[in-house]
Chains A and B, each alone.
Chain A
Amino acid sequence: MGPDSAPDPPVPWRKVLWERQPFPDNYVDGRFLEELRRNEGLRQYHYWAVVKEAGSVGQQLSCVAIFITVWLYMEQGLLSPEVLLLTSLVCAMLGYGLHQVLASTVDSGDEPRTRLADLQSAAIFLSFTYGFSPVLKTLTESVSTDTVYAMSAVMLLAHLIFFPYTQPSPPGSLSLNAALFASVCLASRLPGALHTFAMLSCALLVFALWPCLLQRLREKAPSQFTGVCVGMCIGGIGGLGSQSLVGAVLLALALGNVTFFCPLLLITLQRQKDNIQGPWDEAEIHEDLSHFIQ
């Protein structure tokens, strides 16, 4: 029986509007709630799978921590720019080799970049950074240190927020730019032009090239990916710990939060999820309409 208790007519009610029926317009019959659907398209997550995925977030956080550690070392003069440059060069060569090895295992559909293009890009990076480093050195001279720190912090946070965690291979413009801006700000606080150059090369390695390699690793060797993530996290905590214990503790807490607590929260809260769908929802067009639009 519907909301309007009309006397039972001989004709059964049909859910059509083009026919004149002896029912009011808002009439529905008893089968109304049969079409109720709950939690459609729900995916059941497994805790450890979520933790594994969250590892990439934790890994990025550790990357930022490692970069800050390197900067702290540079600023206190504990790390000479030559050493940093040499280390960066070695890391870059190793990473490039690994990248090539992983690329050759399975042929991808896209046209791969040639060695010449890579060399060209590298030459552009190095020459521009080297050429601009004296300018960058004097850039923030008159700006107060606190302002520079605040700007760097905001920009690094923006980097972490806007980082495309699912598809990091072509790095997201905003996140990469924010990270580079922050590294230019920080690098301009260092004592010499060579320091600035070394710092910027390091930033390029950490923020631009490392996510590409990691993405490749994740696609081709998922088992190693977890290990690399754990390694990065430990490296980040250890590096920060050598400079400030409080920072290390905070980083460890944050990492634990992101990788263990947040997935737990997600899975427990998912049980509470209750959303309903039914014929009252607005219409969805599933058909491909492209042949209408010529």
Chain B
Amino acid sequence: MVLKIFYPQCCNLANSGLLIGSWIQGHNSAVVLAVVHYPFIPGQVKRYIQQVSTASGVKLSVLGSWSLPSEAEKGVENFLRDLRTIFPQDRWLQISRKMGQTGFNCSILDRSQGTILFVHYDQRNVMLSQLHPIQTEELDPSDSELRQVFQIVSLSQPLFLLDRYDDGPLKSTHWQSGGQEASIIVELLKMASVPLCLTISCLLHLLPLNFLCSKLSTCVQLSYRSDHLRALSSPKTAVGHSEFMRKANVLVSILVDMALGFLLMYWLYSDNHISMLANALVPAADHVAKELEELLQWLMGAPAGLKMNRALDEVLGRFFLYHIHLWISYIHLMSPFVETILWYGGLSAGLGLSFALALLSDMVALLTFHIYCFYVYGARLYCLKIYGLSSLWRLFRGKKWNVLRQRVDSCSYDLDQLFIGTLLFTILLFLFPTTALYYLVFTLLRLLVVVLQGILHLTVDLINSLPLFAVALRLTRFYRLAEGVKFSVLCDEPDTPLHLLMEINPLSCASVIKTYRTPTYSCYPKDSWTNLVKKLFVGELIYPWKHKTIKTD
């Protein structure tokens, strides 16, 4: 039977006294939290323990006694043994240090002698760290031993409030902070944050931010940000580790986002870049339209030596050419206002870089509207042909689709049904390659736009969801996010128990990001690649991002 004693490193050189701590339920081990020095009045110690236990929720008790070599005399030995009668316990640890020995000696009274193992821990680090994966903060006897140790240490924070310099009746040794950080600015900020939060949340409740138009990524981004702000500005303080981390992450990411946005604004407005952009935009759109026109002319001939149906080819080509013509007129109509629009649009960067990027994505969508239109026409036509051909092919073989049983049944058709069906089948079959080619070309164009928009979306999403605070915490205070612990042998002398040093294993960066990522729409399951290819083959419309899932989830 091994008895494990978790002993704080800061108490190694404490004066003799009583060990205060807690037995771990369900395991044969104890956590030492503090040492109360002589002289003390037993009644006060009991009352103090009672107080701290109710404040922290941990069942504290006197574990035993502690003696440092300078006072280790025979009389003290007996005195320590007698202490046990004052604090009745079924187990009494008696830890002492001898001169010339690094290790401690320990004896358990009234118990069969077993091996004793000392595990030294850094009280501050263990108190501040959060063991992953995160579970509820309440003590649960079914938890593992290590998790219980972490929880007991972090819950017994009230114990550590008793200061060495306090003029109370008890003196004790445990980890002590260097004093509360008392900056007047921080205090003022804290004071100011409550009314600020209240006003922001009132404003947000007034604004009708439940946007119906989920198609515009700017609106989506706006609703995200407002959700974030709503979460941040709720006057309640964060309960629990994960909520606190979420709030901190969102706050930091908003701040970083706005800083980047201001940088962008500085660049945009400093050197007359806006008008340069506006002057470049219209010729670019013109150029795209011209390229498209050439592409259509090529398609109307014999593209890549393919033999298309001449009549249908010409009809489709002329239709699309007219569409481009309409588009160019529209662009030219818009051109005097482009600079103004850009100037005001650039102001949105003040809300954050993500807003500017979302606006850019929307502008790309608007400027390539003709490509989208072509794609939709092509896809609808293609879809019609595919469905028509598949059902007429069933008719050709004398079968039909049974909707009730979800299978293909044989069916006897009338003569006129067969005749008309075959006629239509032949027509669709011979016109199919032409439609398919148009569809293919416009789908490729659409995919280009979709990829561009997808990259913008990904960037925005990265800004929204990256847990910057958690990453910074991991980099600067590695012990705050623990994944586990590692042990190393501290000293192994004869006649003394084994001493181990417990050190905290920090969480790996990848799992930091995985755990603390703010949930955004990219976290939801998306179309798989095969599904996408299937959709493309059947002619269903594809979009850069599935917006519907946000609504349903």
Known: A121-B415, A139-B309, A142-B310. A174 touches B427 (CB 8 A): no
- Whether a CB of chain A sits under 8 angstroms from the CB of B108 is no
The number of chain A residues touching the other chain, given as a range, is 20 to 34
Of A72-80, A165-173, A250-258, A274-282, the segment with at least 4 beta carbons within 8 Å of chain B is A165-173
B427 close to A208 (CB less than 8 A): no
B419 close to A181 (CB less than 8 A): no
- Whether a CB of chain B sits under 8 angstroms from the CB of A180 is yes
- Whether a CB of chain A sits under 8 angstroms from the CB of B127 is no
B409-430 to A contact mask, C-beta < 8 Å, 1/0: 0001111101111110111001
- Whether a CB of chain A sits under 8 angstroms from the CB of B308 is yes
- Whether a CB of chain B sits under 8 angstroms from the CB of A82 is no
Q: A204: which B residues are within 8 A, CB to CB? A: 419
Q: How far is the CA of A5 from the CA of B430 in the complex (A)?
A: 76
B412 close to A138 (CB less than 8 A): no
- Whether a CB of chain A sits under 8 angstroms from the CB of B398 is yes
Q: How far is the CA of A121 from the CA of B420 in the complex (A)?
A: 11
- Whether a CB of chain B sits under 8 angstroms from the CB of A128 is yes
- Whether a CB of chain A sits under 8 angstroms from the CB of B311 is yes
A124 close to B420 (CB less than 8 A): yes
Tell me the smallest distance from the CB of B359 to a CB of chain A, in Å: 47
- Whether a CB of chain B sits under 8 angstroms from the CB of A36 is no
Known: A138-B310, A141-B310, A174-B398. A180 touches B422 (CB 8 A): yes
Tell me the smallest distance from the CB of A260 to a CB of chain B, in Å: 33
- A132, A136, A180: residue with the most chain B Cβ atoms closer than 10 Å: A180
Q: B310: which A residues are within 8 A, CB to CB? A: 138, 141-142
A138 close to B422 (CB less than 8 A): no
B419 close to A208 (CB less than 8 A): yes
Known: A171-B418, A173-B398, A173-B412. A181 touches B425 (CB 8 A): yes
A142 close to B309 (CB less than 8 A): yes
B423 close to A132 (CB less than 8 A): yes
CB neighbors of A among B375-422 (8 A): 395-398, 412-416, 418-422
A136 close to B418 (CB less than 8 A): no
CB neighbors of B among A185-239 (8 A): 185, 204, 208
Tell me the smallest distance from the CB of B51 to a CB of chain A, in Å: 80
Q: A132: which B residues are within 8 A, CB to CB? A: 423, 427
B309 close to A174 (CB less than 8 A): no
Q: How far is the CA of A31 from the CA of B353 in the complex (A)?
A: 98
B419 close to A128 (CB less than 8 A): yes
Considering only CB atoms, which chain B residue lies closest to A143 in the complex?
A: B307
Q: How far is the CA of A221 from the CA of B169 in the complex (A)?
A: 129
CB neighbors of B among A128-146 (8 A): 128-129, 132, 135-136, 138-144
Interface of A is mostly: helix
- B307, B398, B423, B427: residue with the most chain A Cβ atoms closer than 10 Å: B423
Q: How far is the CA of A125 from the CA of B418 in the complex (A)?
A: 11
Considering only CB atoms, which chain A residue lies closest to B311 in the complex?
A: A138
Q: A136: which B residues are within 8 A, CB to CB? A: 423, 426-427
Known: A140-B430, A174-B397. A180 touches B419 (CB 8 A): yes
Q: A138: which B residues are within 8 A, CB to CB? A: 309-311
A184 close to B418 (CB less than 8 A): no
- Whether a CB of chain B sits under 8 angstroms from the CB of A176 is yes
Q: A180: which B residues are within 8 A, CB to CB? A: 418-419, 422-423, 426
Q: A128: which B residues are within 8 A, CB to CB? A: 419-420, 423
B420 close to A173 (CB less than 8 A): no
Q: How far is the CA of A136 from the CA of B422 in the complex (A)?
A: 12
Considering only CB atoms, which chain B residue lies closest to A175 in the complex?
A: B398
B307 close to A142 (CB less than 8 A): yes
- A135, A142, A172: residue with the most chain B Cβ atoms closer than 10 Å: A142
Q: A143: which B residues are within 8 A, CB to CB? A: 307, 430
Tell me the smallest distance from the CB of A277 to a CB of chain B, in Å: 32
B397 close to A173 (CB less than 8 A): yes
B422 close to A139 (CB less than 8 A): no
Known: A121-B415, A136-B427. A181 touches B422 (CB 8 A): yes
Q: B412: which A residues are within 8 A, CB to CB? A: 170, 173
Contact of B308 among A121, A142, A185 (CB under 8 A): A142
Q: How far is the CA of A168 from the CA of B413 in the complex (A)?
A: 14
Known: A121-B416, A124-B416, A139-B427. A173 touches B395 (CB 8 A): yes
Considering only CB atoms, which chain B residue lies closest to A172 in the complex?
A: B398
Considering only CB atoms, which chain A residue lies closest to B393 in the complex?
A: A177
Tell me the smallest distance from the CB of B45 to a CB of chain A, in Å: 86
Tell me the smallest distance from the CB of A164 to a CB of chain B, in Å: 11
Q: How far is the CA of A171 from the CA of B310 in the complex (A)?
A: 35
A139 close to B397 (CB less than 8 A): no
Q: How far is the CA of A242 from the CA of B400 in the complex (A)?
A: 43
Q: A174: which B residues are within 8 A, CB to CB? A: 396-398
A139 close to B418 (CB less than 8 A): no
A selection of 25 A-B contacts at a CB cut-off of 8 Å is A125-B416, A128-B420, A138-B310, A138-B311, A139-B430, A142-B310, A143-B307, A171-B415, A172-B398, A173-B395, A173-B397, A173-B412, A173-B413, A173-B418, A177-B395, A177-B396, A177-B397, A177-B398, A177-B422, A180-B422, A180-B426, A181-B396, A208-B415, A208-B418, A208-B419
Q: Closest 8 CB pairs between A and B?
A: A173-B398, A142-B307, A180-B422, A184-B426, A139-B430, A177-B396, A177-B422, A121-B416
Residues in chain A within 8 A of chain B (CB atoms): 121, 124-125, 128-129, 132, 135-136, 138-144, 170-174, 176-177, 180-181, 184-185, 204, 208
Known: A124-B416, A174-B396, A208-B415. 6 other contacts (CB 8 A): A128-B419, A132-B427, A171-B415, A177-B422, A184-B423, A208-B419
